[in-house]
Amino acid sequence: MYSIFGPAGGATPDFSDVPVHHPYHDAVYNLADRGIISGFSDGTFGPERPVTRQQFAKMIVKTLALPVSAGDHCPFKDVPTNVDPNDPLYPDKYVAVCAAQGITVGKTPTAFDPSASITRQQLITMVVRAAALPAPPTGYAPPFASGQFSSQEHFENACKASHAGLLEGLQGLGAGSAKAATGYDFTASASRGECAVLLYNLLARGAGPTWTYLAAGGYHSLALKTDGSLWAWGDNQFGQLGGGTTDHQHQPTRVAGD
């Protein structure tokens, strides 16, 4: 058994299969040190193993430090609840946050396919959406072709990611590997190591925690941003969220007059 997620603030593990010369070493250990990922009970990380779509939803939410609460509503009917006894919010509430933030639109409006392995093109698209990357300048020539993707949207998102440097470090797609990139299978399952690299690169662009304090309750939650503003969400039957209404809030909403 293993957990792809680790407790924040704990000692960084020493993965026997990610030595210092491993191409994904820095990314894996950086995310492990942040408590975003962990490994197997036998001391390995499994950098080549696949990642499910629901696992990656939690990975990217934790990378961005987005608040998650029991009040978050998942629009997809196929996402289970209470899968992890150590985290009652996984996976449905993390997927809910991804949907609310526009990071995922699901396979259909009501289906997410949570247990399927996330593909490389899906991984890239979710990270690009999270980063809100602009289109590359006219004339930009990526080291891959549109025919390598299942849709134009995935190709365009890969172009954005490539131009922004988010694909640096990926084996077969890094700097100086343009020839190899033409044979890169974007429709194949993304590995744990590849997910770590993209999230590591996303953090390097300045993405990450904007919340300095989070108080999560069973019915509503409060969070303090780095700019000092107070945000609340969840049940609001008695107006306890401080927004001047009794409307329930499924996303963080700034407290009036904070």
pLDDT digits (tens, 9 = 90+) for 47-99: 999 999 999 999 999 999 899 999 999 999 999 999 999 899 999 999 999 99
The SS3 assignment for 249 reads strand
pLDDT value of residue 104: 97
How distant is the alpha carbon of residue 16 from its chain centre? Answer: 25
Residue type, 47: P
Give yes or no for a contact between 197 and 184, defined as CB atoms under 8 angstroms apart: no
Task: Pick the closest to residue 115 from 172, 187, 189 (CA basis).
Answer: 189
What residues does each domain of the chain span? 51-204, 212-254
Among 97-101, 179-183, 187-191, the range scoring the smallest mean pLDDT is 179-183
Q: Cα angle at 193 between 174 and 145, to 5 degrees?
A: 40
Residue 239's CB is within 10 A of a number of other CB atoms, namely 11
Say which residues have a Cβ less than 8 Å from residue 72's Cβ, sequence separation at least 6. Answer: 89, 93, 96, 97, 100, 233, 250, 251
Position 209, amino acid: P
For 87-146, what is each residue's pLDDT tens digit? Answer: 999 999 999 999 999 999 999 999 999 999 999 999 999 999 999 999 999 999 999 999
